[in-house]
Amino acid sequence: MEINTIKASDLSKMFLAGSKYLEANKDLINELNVFPVPDGDTGTNMTMTIMSAAKEVAALENPEMAPLCKAISSGSLRGARGNSGVILSQLFRGFTKICKTHDELTVEILAEACQKSVETAYKAVMKPKEGTILTVAKAAADKATEMADKTDNILEFYEAVVIAAEETLEQTPEMLPVLKQAGVVDSGGRGLLEVLKGGYDLLSGKDIDLSVDGAEKKEDKEEVEMPKYLYRMSFVIKSTTPINSKDVIDYKVYLEALGEQISVEQKDQYVSVIIMTNEPGRVISKATKLGTMSQVSMVNIVDDEVSKDDQKIIEMPKKEEEVLPEKEMGFVTVAAGDGLVQIFKDLGADYVISGGQTMNPSTDDILSAVEKVNAKTVFVLPNNKNIILAANQAEELCKDKKVIVIPTKTLPQGITALINFVPDQSVKDNQDRMTEELQNVKSGEVTYAVRDTTIDDKEIKEGDYMGIGDAGILAVKQDLTEVMLQMLDEMVDDDSALISLYYGADVKKKDANKMKKAVEEKYTSLDVELQEGGQPVYYYVTSVE
């Protein structure tokens, strides 16, 4: 079969096929995370990024090239989560810059678009590393340029591009030693390969389900004024034992594809859920795997017979917010856990986005938070290295006010930045001081391993406790207290004066107090503070200053 041109309708289907392939393999991609921590999220981030665009693409009826390219670019840019998701969105951004000016695509145009795609993505990353998704994308683009001189057949051209990407992906462990030691290929590169494969299989004639949850045709919206989601649901899940916080996070991610206005709150063995959705059956089916359901309420919001009292039962709580005068500077920060959220608010954060290591907020989440802060300049504290690119992207996209990203990679760094903010000094002085002070705090996290592996010459077994510092894994033990003390040994030096411990959702207060005592007994000359963080997955977040 020979195909010499691709129309907008073809590209739309290819993009949706790539989205579905990525979505189907997100769990496998998550498992390729180098660190064997229970928050491997590359597959989830890339899937949520591309599905944000897929919903917009699927909503186009008889698409033309320019609107299609806008849907792909804008949808992925605003929906981008995590570094892998941001890079993927930049690849789409560059690709569509070339395609949007043509009604039909040839191998020459596609090759140019691939090169523009890689050029755009590399510019978005401050220090690009080889052996990553960028390397896979570059290999694909270089093969595209080579094949454009050899054939006019897009199928032949595309097959060679996919093969080049796959071969390069298999070589990523040779380019990044950490991948080789962990025994995995690059997860972001694997995600990109799935997108390419989906598009190729669709073009080759394979029958692929292109339906997208939550997508609505735009003509349908104009013909009948119907709400996007018909059902308001609320319920409580109860388990006989405390529910694993990672399972709760996974359930919330699952709900993201089924609706909006989502609230998932955990307290010990209880989880309260609120959602607007069109698929209540799927919401309930997944919920029953966490425990038994009670206080279930479901209302069809277009049913005239539903009383206002019924609707109030599950209305999302809204607080009347006092409208304050515009101020010079404000803060948006990211944190998970009631304790940490309150700490940031007490330190002056205007808005705290729920998320962090286990759930990276999207570029659009950050933009929405910035809009809620009535300030001329808004500082954004990502508090995670995997959120910084999304924050930078929000900074670029925001037009209504000045956004400055302080590159906080950890929660303790975010706390330090806020502590060093001086309201009556200039934006520039505060930016410089907060950024400089990040160097004076060392951060650590304690969690558990989800698989056997070797990293930094440390043998790790599934279930081991790990202490992870700014530069990598500092300690591996089967005892939680031992791993904490060994990790702190690597962090404390002669200049250290204070150790701060923030205990997570899976740690009881009495056990946290025992941990504090153990730390105090070992570091008698240092002050030790203990606060409830409430963060999921990580037993303790620590800082040494």
Instruction: Going residue by residue through the chain, which has 545 residues, state the pLDDT in tens, using 9 for 90 and above.
Output: 899 999 999 999 999 999 999 999 998 998 888 777 766 688 989 999 999 999 999 999 889 999 999 999 999 999 999 899 999 999 999 999 999 999 999 999 999 999 999 999 999 888 888 999 999 999 999 999 999 999 999 999 999 999 999 999 999 999 998 888 888 899 999 999 999 999 999 999 999 999 887 666 554 444 445 567 788 888 888 887 777 777 887 788 788 778 888 888 877 778 888 898 888 888 888 888 888 887 887 777 665 444 444 443 333 344 444 556 789 999 999 998 889 999 999 999 999 998 766 678 899 999 999 999 999 999 999 999 999 999 999 999 998 899 999 999 999 999 999 999 999 999 999 999 999 999 999 999 999 988 888 887 788 998 999 999 998 899 999 999 999 999 999 999 999 999 999 999 889 999 999 999 999 999 999 999 999 999 888 999 999 99
Return the closest-CA partner of residue 351 out of 394, 380, 325. Answer: 380
Amino acid, single-letter form, for residue 14? M
pTM of the model: 0.78
Distance (Å, rounded) from C-alpha 88 to C-alpha 18?
Answer: 12
Q: 31, 54 in Cβ contact below 8 A?
A: no
- pLDDT score of 136: 97
Q: Can you name the residues that pair with 453 across neighbouring β-strands?
A: 460
SS3 513: helix
Q: 14: part of which helix (H) or strand (E)?
A: helix 8-24
CB 273 within 8 A of CB 233: yes
Tokens of 377: 């300049």
Residue 310: per-residue pLDDT = 42
268: left (phi over 0), alpha (psi -120 to 50) or beta: left
Q: What is the CA radius of gyration of the chain?
A: 24
Q: Is 516 exposed, middle or buried (0-12, 13-18, 19+ CB in 10 A)?
A: middle
What is the C-alpha to C-alpha distance for residues 152 and 167, in angstroms, rounded to an integer?
23
The b-or-e profile of 86-119 (16+ CB within 10 A means b, else e) is bbbbbbbbbbbbbbbebeebbbebbbbbbbbbbe
Domain spanning 444-544, CATH architecture:
2-Layer Sandwich (3.30)
Please give the Cα distance from 258 to 260 (Å, whole number): 7
Question: Looking at residue 172, what is its pLDDT?
Answer: 96
Q: Within 13 Å and on the Cβ side, how many CA atoms surround 22?
A: 33
> In Å, what is the CA distance from 287 to each residue of 180, 252, 271, 326?
38, 10, 10, 43
Question: Tokens in use for 41?
Answer: 């999220």
First to last CA, the chain: 65
Alpha-carbon distance of 312 to 433, in angstroms, equals 47
List every span in the chain annotated with CATH 3.40.50.510. Answer: 327-440
541 contacts 504 by C-beta, under 8 angstroms: yes
pLDDT, residue 222, reads: 44
CATH of 227-301, one of 3.40.50, 2.20.28, 3.40.1130, 3.30.70: 3.30.70
Q: Are 499 and 510 in contact (CB under 8 A)?
A: no
Residue spans in the chain of domains classed CATH 1.25.40.340: 6-203
Residue 220 is encoded by which pair of tokens? 């349908």
- Antiparallel, parallel or unpaired: β 270-277 and 327-335: unpaired
pLDDT of residue 40: 60
What is the DSSP secondary-structure string of 126-149? SS--TTSHHHHHHHHHHHHHHHHT
346, 349, 351, 375: which is closest to 361 by C-alpha? 351
Is residue 316 within 8 Å of 263, Cβ to Cβ? yes
* pLDDT score, position 227: 66
CATH topology of domain 327-440: Rossmann fold (3.40.50)
The answer to whether domain 6-203 has CATH 1.10.40.30 is: no
Contact (Cβ atoms closer than 8 angstroms) between residue 189 and residue 25? no
Return the closest-CA partner of residue 58 out of 222, 278, 217.
217
Neighbours of 449 (CB within 10 A): 20
CB atoms within 10 A of CB 168: 23
Alpha helices for 279-337 (secondary structure H): 280-287, 308-313
Nearest residue to 485 via CA among 402, 421, 544, 425: 544
Joined together, the tokens standing for residue 384 give 């995670």
Q: Which residue matches tokens 């916080």?
A: 245
Strand 498-503 and strand 527-532: the pairing is parallel
pLDDT of residue 545: 93
Helix (H) or strand (E) holding 194: helix 187-203
Q: What is residue 86's three-state secondary structure?
A: helix
